[in-house]
Amino acid sequence: MPASPSTARAINDRLALRLLQQEGPLTAGQLKQLTGLSRPTVADLVDRLTDAGLIAVVGEAGEQRRGPNAKLYGIVADLAQLAALDVRTEGLSVVVSDLVGAVLAEASVPIAGDSGTGPAVEQAVTLVERVVKEAGADRLHTVGIGAPGLIDPASGELRDSTGLPEWHRRLVATLQERLPEARVTVENETNLAALAEQRDGVARDRDTFVLLWLGHGTGAAVVLDGALRRGASGGTGEIGFLPVPGTVGLPSAVDCEGGFHSLAGSAGIVELAGAYGFTVEGASVREPVAAEVVGEAVALVAEASGGEAGGGPPDPDGPTAAAAPVPRDAASAARFLDALADRLAIGVASVVAILDPGCVVLGGEVGQAGGEPLAARVEERIRRMSPLATVVRPSGLGGGAVLRGALLTARDAAQEELFAPPDR
């Protein structure tokens, strides 16, 4: 049955809006070319969307830059404002943007572990309110939150997880109370990072891939056939609990110590680095110490080899974490990267054996700091450990992927509602 005129108009409108979202401002002629619609149909939908306040003329295109055919139409950016939050155990980062994703204001704040739940929540909410005010956001439409831990697939709420601060769960409820007109959504941080890498990062050409998060902690996100997979309890990708060799015990239902987290979390990587002479004092909300030592090792190897920090086979005689530190040099840096790749390959090989994703992204601050040198080392080890062809890529977005993913999901949700066709 052919679509009714009103249904056809709604379909055409959504198609045009989606193109303007993806491509940016377009002329009527470009919309005609991209949609395949007739010139009169495009003219009608442009008038309709303009009258509805969804699009407006934002400039002119072409050499002459004049006349109706040169008008550039874009989504009305200030139709709504959005907020994105990256909630970490150690602090909070906030960004506020307009409807097309242009950043209006942003800020971060550390939150001490001994602050107490009430003061921590108040500190976090105060930061959000301040950034919203600085952005001049008088119509905050959607708030997207990325947080560690499990998201209940039925309720969409952050579950109570042992080891995570109570203020995380309280923050979501408090934000909804203080911003009653905004829609507040929460998603696992690693899942958001994967969505960001798929949209704007190194996985743009992949419908199936796994992102291995390497930051203060560890996690994984699974995208299969273009869809994010969360699992029956929302726990797909909790790779920190994966039992692995090389630890002193086994993880438990309430503690991932002894699992892959012990090898690949920031503390484990820093301990490993210390065995090779790499120690760094201090930490920050956005930058784990492990990222700093990995980045320094990569730089040393690259400098010694004329810019190429190539990988190599594991060093069977390399020092253990308990060994005395050795002086920092390119050789010890290369051995450290080899030892780290050995550790990461254990987790990656397990994921590859079960899912055969074809591509694994080393995400988070550590994955970005390791860059191609670390990714190449891991890929070489997987090639020897598994018959399943797997490309290993370093993150293109690093720790910023969580905020980017939260902003993208907030924007998608807001546009889905704002661009919904009216009842006809």
Q: What percent of the chain has pLDDT over 90?
A: 63
- Judged against a pLDDT cut of 80, whether residue 156 lies above it is answered with no
AA identity, residue 153: P
Confidence of residue 62 (pLDDT cuts 50, 70, 90): low
In a domain, 389, yes or no: yes
206 with 268, same domain: the answer is yes
pLDDT of residue 81: 94
Give the phi and the psi of residue 362 in degrees, each rounded to 5: -85, 100
392 — phi, psi (to 5°)?
A: -115, 125
| pLDDT (average), residues 8-13 | 88
Tell me, yes or no, whether 299 and 169 share the same domain. Answer: no
When pLDDT is cut at 50, 70 and 90, the band that residue 36 belongs to is very high
Average the pLDDT over 323-332 and give the result. Answer: 63
Same domain for 252 and 379 = yes
Please name the residue that has the structure tokens 């798929």.
198
315 falls within a domain = no
From CA 140, how far away is CA 97, in angstroms rounded? Answer: 9
Q: Which of 145, 140, 135 is nearest to 86 (CA)?
A: 145
| Average pLDDT of the segment spanning 339-365 | 97
Does residue 168 register a pLDDT over 50? yes
pLDDT at 322 over 70: no
Residue 407 has pLDDT above 60, yes or no: yes
What is the C-alpha separation between 396 and 371, in angstroms, rounded? 9
| 384 and 256 housed in the same domain | yes
What gap in Å lies between CA 370 and CA 337, rounded to an integer?
8
- Shared domain check, 170 and 115: yes
- Average pLDDT rounded to a whole number, residues 53-71: 77
Give the per-residue pLDDT at 66: 61
CA distance 241 to 285: 23
Residue 309 has a pLDDT of 59
283 vs 110: CA distance, rounded Å: 11
Q: How confident is the model at residue 162 (pLDDT cuts 50, 70, 90)?
A: low
- CATH no. for residue 88? 3.30.420.40
Strands (E), 189-230: 209-214, 218-224, 227-229
**Same domain, yes or no: 54 and 87:** no
Q: What is the pLDDT of residue 88?
A: 87
The answer, yes or no, to whether residue 253 has pLDDT greater than 60, is: yes
Query: Does residue 311 lie in a domain region?
Result: no
Is position 154 within any domain?
yes
Mean pLDDT of 329-348: 95
Residue 424 in any domain: the answer is no
Q: Domain check: are 18 and 102 in the same one?
A: no
User: What is the Cα gyration radius of the chain?
Assistant: 24
pLDDT exceeds cutoff 90 at 211? yes
Least confident of 95-109, 122-136, 270-284, 359-373: 270-284
Strand ranges, E, within 16-164: 55-60, 71-75, 81-88, 91-98, 103-110, 140-147
> Does residue 258 fall inside a structural domain?
yes
Residues 67 and 86 in one domain: no
The first and second tokens of residue 111, run together, are 């939150």
CATH of the domain at 18: 1.10.10.10
H/E segment holding residue 409: helix 401-418
**Distance in angstroms (rounded) separating the CA atoms of residues 378 and 196:** 22
Domain boundary among 75, 95, 116: 75
Q: At what angle do helices 28-35 and 5-23 cross, to 10 degrees?
A: 110
Please say whether the beta carbons of 217 and 238 come within 8 A. no
Mean pLDDT of 219-244: 93
**What does the pLDDT look like over 295-316, one tens digit per residue?**
999 999 998 877 655 544 444 4
pLDDT tens, position by position, 110-134: 988 778 889 999 999 999 999 999 9
Note the pLDDT of residue 424: 42
User: Is there a single domain that holds both residue 277 and residue 146?
Assistant: no
Instruction: Take residue 298 and report the two structure tokens written for it.
Output: 């990569």
- Say how many CA atoms lie within 13 Å of 249 toward its Cβ: 6
Percent of all residues in the chain with a pLDDT value above 70, rounded to a whole number: 89
- 107/185 same-domain check: yes
Domain boundary among 75, 101, 135: 75
Is residue 378 in some structural domain?
yes
Residue 319 lies in a domain: no
CA-to-CA dists, residue 5 to 1, 48, 165, 423, angstroms? 12, 14, 53, 13
pLDDT in the model for residue 75: 93
Domain boundary among 75, 96, 115: 75
**Among the listed residues 265, 346, 331, 350, the one whose alpha carbon sits nearest the alpha carbon of residue 89:** 265
DSSP for residue 250: -
Q: Which domain holds residue 37?
A: 5-75
> Given a cut of 50, is residue 321 above it in pLDDT?
no
With left for phi above 0 and alpha for psi between -120 and 50, is residue 124 left, alpha or beta? Answer: alpha
Instruction: Clarify whether residues 209 and 279 are in a common domain.
Output: yes
Does the structure show a pLDDT above 80 at 371?
yes
Domain count, the chain: 3
349 in the same domain as 216:
yes
Q: Give the separation between CA 397 and CA 367, rounded to whole angstroms.
A: 10
**Length of the chain in terms of residues written:** 424
